[in-house]
Amino acid sequence: MLDLPDARNRMVEVHLSRRGIRDREVLDAMREVPREAFVAPGFEEFAYEDGPLPIAEGQTISQPYIVALMIEMAEIGPGDHVLEVGTGSGYAAAVMSRIVERVYTIERHAGLAGTARQRFEELGYDNIEVRTGDGTKGWPDAAPFDAILVAAGGPGAPLALQEQLDVGGRLVIPVGDEPHDQRLLKVTRTGAATYSEEDFGGVRFVPLIGEQGWPESGSRIATARARTRSLPEMIAAAAEPLPDFDDPAFGELFDRFGDRRVVLLGEASHGTSEFYRARAAITRRLIEKHGFTIVAVEADWPDAAAVDRYVRRRPPRADADPPFQRFPTWMWRNTDVAAFVDWMRYHNERIRISSRLAGFYGLDIYNMGGSIAAVLQYLDRVDPQAAKIARERYGCLTPWQNEPSTYGRVALTSGYEKCEEAVLEQCRELLAKQLDYAQQDGVDFLDATQNARLIASAERYYRIMYYGGAQSWNLRDTHMFETLEHLIEARGPNAKAVVWAHNSHIGDARYTEMGVVRDEVNIGQFCRQRFGDEAALIGLSTHSGTVAAASDWDGEMEIKRVRPSHGDSYERLCHDCGVSRFLLDIKRDDDLRKRLSERRLERFIGVIYRPETELRSHYADASLAQQFDAFVWFDETAAVTPLGPEHVGTGVPDTYPFGL
């Protein structure tokens, strides 16, 4: 059963403190007030997640962070009298009552007001007064107020509320020209008839209904504000439309990133054709015109190595299995990847200069069994005695090679330290012989060395994955970044790399829920820290269409319909801008960059997609402009086409490298 007090403390620590709430009285009050008492029945277990929840009358209880932020902005303290407009569940009023002398709260829905009043009585919060009425007109007979907080978005700050502030008093209110496009403002009364105003960024609240707000219809009335461009309009103005993938102009739009050391290209799902085709077009341009020689992808090293032998026109390994046979096969065994791989092969045939050949490399950690086989095969050829010792050392892993996650179950109780040390020792010995092996076969040595590193990382990964939390993710992305570093080092001082991976790996984790809430790191963050402005992080996303995905891990691939993007998401902003496909260079427009730095929902679909629980399963909080340097948008997308016998080309023996 969920420990609610523990969950409440964690909410304060993770969702509030780590995101910048510093007011000790606010943090203590939110640690004291039981939010589960203010949510609808059945939602108690979700009370301490950082998200809004539905309540009666079509209203919501705001996410804890927004409640804390608005109260902190209001700068309330002991002895203050505070007015709240929009009682809702009563949670915010309850929190403020733990800090100030008296809270006055107005709710236009009588049912909500009555329920809130009952909750206050049950909790013994006797310094709160509740009234049913039009909150835009305030509470004149209780004025002046030290602070006024409005929990709904209006077209402007109602004059009645401003006039009910004491001198020095603060009004915190969402305002905007449209009922659902708002900025969080702090208005301070500086004199009898003077006010100052601060903008704290974009928010989304229910409309403020009333005489000095919006009418029930949602059209604008009362206090007027100068018309400014909406965020979708700003995106449309900055968007650079994308031509067809085969048009040279598509790749040319990305010449601006040609001088970078690393260009990271994301995707919002692992099964969308447009993402693969766009990355292929961009990568072709970077290889042909800007000297990039490394294509590093979110794939297992041994599988990618088979493709690399093909694109660099080297013979396949004897008795090697076709690559990408493990779930999810469609992620790399699809027609878009096959077309790009063939392009790389023919490009390299034209180059014929070893140092300028473009290589295809895997960054990921999963295929422990394939990695072991690759290291042993190499050692059998160059050092049979070392191969014999390696077989003995790897013996403690072999029972779980076909299902390596099983290793995690037994590792916690079966002396895994000995096995881990043996694997690490094998890696150390292989690296120690670098000079000897490199003289014999430098290309294969890179392959074998990386496989040894992968095994050491994979052993730890499968051991800790059952602990949960950020450990397994962080080990995986750290491994992938270190692999990228090794590749760049191996290819020489002028080597430049393109990385293909999911947006969750590409976008800087420090500006997403991953980093803020779960302490997770990723390749994008590491690349910025290591390469600075020489790294470009580019996300790709969509509004709707179809996607190739499974319902469960190791499940069958299905073609699923992608639900239209959520109304509170960055994807919906891009959809609403009206440009069907575009490049958004975020750093070229400072005003837009500031607006896109505001935290919103962002969609993440991996190899599993569950549309029935999409909001909970596939959306996370992020700051787009801090997460990425640029964003590529396709409003309508289609699923990838898995490779099958019907795609066998002519003149390619055994359809190498995919072995169809």
What is the set of active-site residues?
Answer: 62
d(CA 614, CA 609): 8
Question: Which helix (H) or strand (E) element contains residue 361?
Answer: strand 359-364
Q: Which two tokens stand for residue 326?
A: 């493990």
Long-range Cβ contacts of 35-38 (<8 Å, 24+ apart): 35/8, 35/11, 35/61, 35/64, 35/91, 36/4, 37/119, 37/122, 37/123, 38/89, 38/90, 38/91, 38/94, 38/119
| Residue type present at position 280 | A
Q: Which two tokens stand for residue 543?
A: 């509004």
For tokens 């760049």, what's the residue? 488
Q: Is 48 left (phi over 0), alpha (psi -120 to 50) or beta?
A: alpha
Task: Give 126-167 as a DSSP string.
Answer: -SEEEEES-GGG--GGG--EEEEEE-SBBSS--HHHHHTEEE
| 422 and 396 Cβ atoms separated by less than 8 Å | yes
Is the dihedral angle over the CA atoms 538, 540, 541, 547 positive or is it negative?
Answer: negative
Q: Which two tokens stand for residue 132?
A: 């049913």
Task: Give 241-307 as a DSSP string.
Answer: E---TTSHHHHHTTGGGTT-SEEEE--S-SSBHHHHHHHHHHHHHHHHHH---EEEEEEEHHHHHHH
Is the dihedral angle over the CA atoms 34, 38, 43, 47 positive or is it negative?
Answer: negative
For tokens 């449209």, what's the residue? 178
| Residue type present at position 49 | E
| Residue type present at position 541 | S
d(CA 80, CA 152): 22
Q: Which two tokens stand for residue 528?
A: 């910025």
d(CA 29, CA 371): 53
Q: What are phi and psi of 620, to 5 degrees?
A: -145, 160
Centre a 10 Å sphere on the Cβ of residue 124 and count the other Cβ atoms it contains: 6
Long-range Cβ contacts of 51-56 (<8 Å, 24+ apart): 55/88, 55/89, 55/112, 56/109, 56/111, 56/112, 56/115
Q: Helices (DSSP H) in 465-581: which residue ranges?
A: 470-490, 503-506, 513-518, 523-531, 570-576
d(CA 553, CA 557): 10
Q: What are phi and psi of 353, to 5 degrees?
A: -115, 115
| 177 and 199 Cβ atoms separated by less than 8 Å | no
527 by Cβ neighbours in 10 Å (0-12 / 13-18 / 19+) ranks as buried
DSSP 15: I
Question: Which helix (H) or strand (E) element contains residue 548?
Answer: strand 535-549
d(CA 185, CA 173): 5
**Which has the closest alpha carbon to 302: 357, 354, 375, 358?**
375
Q: Buried (b) or exposed (e) across 271-292, using 16+ Cβ within 10 A?
A: bbbbbbbbbbbbbbbbbeebeb
